[in-house]
Amino acid sequence: MPETWVNLAERMGSDLHVDLSGPGSRRAVLIRALRNAVREGWLTPGTRLPPYRSLAADLGLARNTVADAYAELIAEGWLTARQGSGTRVAERAAPPRHSRKPKPAPARPATPTHNLRQGAPETASFPRTAWLAAARRALIAAPDEAFGPGDPRGRIELRRALSDYLTRARGVRVDPERIVVCSGFAHALRLLFGGSPGAGAGPLRGPFAVESYGLRFHSEILEGCGVRTVPLSLDEQGARVEELAGEPRVRGVLLTPAHQFPTGGPLHPARRASVIDWARTGDGLIIEDDYDGEFRYDRVPVGAVQGLDPERVVYLGSVSKSLSPAVRIGWMVLPTRLVDGVLAAKGKREAWVSVPDQLTLADFIASGQYDRHIRRMRQRYRRRRDQLVTALAERAPHITATGIAAGLHAVLRLPPGTVASAVKAASWQGIALDGLTAFRHPRATMPAGDGLVIGYSTPPEHAYGAALEALLRAMPPSDASIESPAG
């Protein structure tokens, strides 16, 4: 219905603007319009309204519609009706007209058309049918005791399934007794360092070395637990672990060796061996974040560092990248000496993961559905990365995707000094993405690089082509002097 000006000068001494637009029935729209007129002071207390027959004729509404609207507003206390005096605005405190301030326009945050932020799998690809089937099988087969207090390590069904899978697919040396189920990587860090609310102190202390580029909130979790973090430089061979020798107080190091986040390279084999030697010699500890280790596109995924020395490496994984961040399940493969300390930090019940979800994931893995899902998504993400690389080569050859063909994101190397303008240009194109500097440790000393972190896994399949087109339009012009984003 349109907005309508109703001439009520004869009865009210002024025109009344009645806004009859908006959702709902004609009765509901009229009630809302009259209520708003009273609230805003356009209809002041004591003002007599026209008979419902007259207003119905002016507005082109049915008489019963206006009569019902009056009756509703009388019942709510906005209007009063007395025999012989008609329908009037109720006597109530109302702001004087001169004191009313115009309503500020509602803030409407711009929603990007294309989400190219890193860190999330394609949500539409969650295997709903297979997951539902696994849940049914798991719940039917579950023993009654599964729904009572249980082992704080996690359900044995899931720990056995994880033990088999991690041994086979990631080269992890593990048995179920050294696996502790948690709700994800952040939860694992808090259990290790004592940052879980209501839980006990974790078994680890700092300082701890971290990579100069990485997820900032991981370092923030450590700092929040009272652990000072020491950034290690990066190059094309991964973290420069030789720098650990110059930090005698450092008690451990957090690494992403399969696929360094975000710069994209694997930890060189010689450095893998070197960091293990460092841990053995100095009684140090390595925390291995295997956040997307299954997704290697040009060759078989490299095995976990944990396989080199299970008593010097804490191996952490989850399904947040492989399956969905909504499935809040992760795991820790611990050196034997740390198991009791982590369980003490976890507490008796509060930090446990939902048992039905654990049972479902156990069946999903054991039935082979998890492997099938990984293979399917590996093909899809490889195709998307190839599209990105090809489009850059054809349309913006001065910009290249760095790192190995793996994972859910790529870093685009940009001309020096163009990151801020590229992020702004992307925003104008309706793209959400991050510059490389967003992942730089605040105390990093290595040279800063210029790059964009592009999450090619995030857009839905049907929108990926349009997202690439928009990204290409936001790219800076050619520049001959280009530096590596890893410095």
Comparing 43 with 167, the larger pLDDT belongs to: 167
- Summarize pLDDT for 118-169 with one digit per residue, the tens: 988 999 999 999 999 999 999 999 999 999 988 899 999 999 999 999 999 9
**What are the DSSP calls for 21-90, one per residue?**
-SSS-HHHHHHHHHHHHHHTTSS-TTPBPPPHHHHHHHHT--HHHHHHHHHHHHHHTSEEEETTTEEEE-
pLDDT beyond 70 at 205: yes
- Summarize pLDDT for 467-481 with one digit per residue, the tens: 999 999 999 887 534
Comparing 174 with 64, the larger pLDDT belongs to: 174
Comparing 266 with 352, the larger pLDDT belongs to: 266
The pLDDT assigned to 178 comes to 96
Token output for 286: 């390595």
The pLDDT assigned to 243 comes to 96
The pLDDT assigned to 351 comes to 65
Helices 464-473 & 369-395 angle (0-180, nearest 10):
30
Nearest residue to 215 via CA among 320, 327, 122, 145: 320
The pLDDT assigned to 307 comes to 95
Measured CA to CA, the distance from residue 125 to residue 127 in angstroms comes to 6
Placement of tokens 């994101």 in the chain: 409
Token output for 188: 């694992």
Q: Which residues contact 269 (CB under 8 A, 6 or more apart)?
A: none
pTM of the model: 0.75
Measured CA to CA, the distance from residue 439 to residue 451 in angstroms comes to 11
The pLDDT assigned to 359 comes to 98
The pLDDT assigned to 318 comes to 95
The pLDDT assigned to 480 comes to 39
Q: For residue 380, how far is the Cα from the chain centroid? A: 21
- Summarize pLDDT for 8-37 with one digit per residue, the tens: 434 444 555 666 777 778 888 888 888 888
Comparing 255 with 74, the larger pLDDT belongs to: 255
- Summarize pLDDT for 227-250 with one digit per residue, the tens: 999 999 999 999 999 999 999 999
- Does 207 sit behind a cis peptide bond, omega within 30 degrees of 0 on the bond before it? yes
pLDDT beyond 80 at 461: yes
Measured CA to CA, the distance from residue 423 to residue 451 in angstroms comes to 10
- Summarize pLDDT for 89-116 with one digit per residue, the tens: 888 644 545 445 555 554 444 578 999 9
**Secondary structure percentages of the chain, helix, strand, coil, to 5:** 40, 15, 45
